Amino acid sequence: MKMTIAVIASILIAVLMLPANGSAQAPKKPSILTIAGHPGEAQLLQLNGKSYVDIETLALLTKGTLSFKANQTILTLQASTPEVQASTAQVKPGLSRAFIQASVEEITVILEWRNAIVNAVQINTPLSEDWVAARHRLAEKNLALASAAVASDEDRSAYPLLSAEFNNMQKLSELYLATRNQNRFISPQNFGNAPLEEQILSCAQGFATMTEKHEFQDQATCR
């Protein structure tokens, strides 16, 4: 049986906009969407007291397909069969291929983000807030895709480390922007040797080793 979701304004929003308590401000901890019978999870965006999920992330999470026709966006879900359910229940050892791919994309964006900030400090050329915000959005989206790709026990063990890497990069970025906006001089030596900056680089290197070997290895520098 296939389910088609057309005209996002009338159907998708009604299904995916979950009620949120409190003010319109983002909660301290991100809200998570999980779908029964499907591995992985997706982050919810809080806006004006309501919750939203990226439709591409939803398609990946449900192993569905997206198609576009005129002003319609159509999400087609796969039929649930005993064979599919049995396959989903089986836990394969090692990191899954989909999670590895999503992790590599996330780490690549984080390193580009980090290196751009370090270079901006070294040559005293400030980055625009728009550029930094674009890197943040892309890294946040890739992290959601990695969450949706979680399929094995080792994926589940590795994901919190990937999430912590994103959080550390966000802290470094906020530190850079706060210092720059205060018109304070940023010493290349001090910033380049900052513990947080080194921690981000070390965690990325650890993830590279994991993805090469296709197996989980705990990385203390990611925490």
The DSSP string of 87-102 is HHH---SS--HHHHHH
- CA 61, CA 38: separation in Å to the nearest integer? 7
160 torsion bin: left (phi>0), alpha (psi -120 to 50), beta (else): alpha
- Residue 185 confidence class, pLDDT cut points 50, 70, 90: low
Query: With the C-alpha atoms ordered 148, 149, 151, 157, is the resulting torsion angle positive or negative?
Result: negative
What residues does each domain of the chain span?
Answer: 4-79, 97-222
- Quote the pLDDT of residue 183: 63
- Quote the pLDDT of residue 97: 93
- Quote the pLDDT of residue 10: 37
Q: Tell whether pTM > 0.75.
A: no
Name which of 3-7, 46-50, 168-172, 196-200 the model is least confident about: 3-7
Token pair for 200: 């981000």
Phi first, then psi, for residue 51 (nearest 5°) are: -115, 140
User: What is the per-residue pLDDT across 2-38, written as a single tens digit (0 to 9) for each?
Assistant: 444 343 333 344 444 444 444 444 444 567 777 776 7
Name which of 5-9, 41-45, 196-200 the model is least confident about: 5-9
User: What is the per-residue pLDDT across 101-159, written as a single tens digit (0 to 9) for each?
Assistant: 999 999 999 999 999 998 888 888 888 899 999 999 999 999 999 999 999 999 999 99
**Domain boundaries 97-222, corresponding CATH code:** 1.20.120
Residue 95 has pLDDT above 70, yes or no: yes
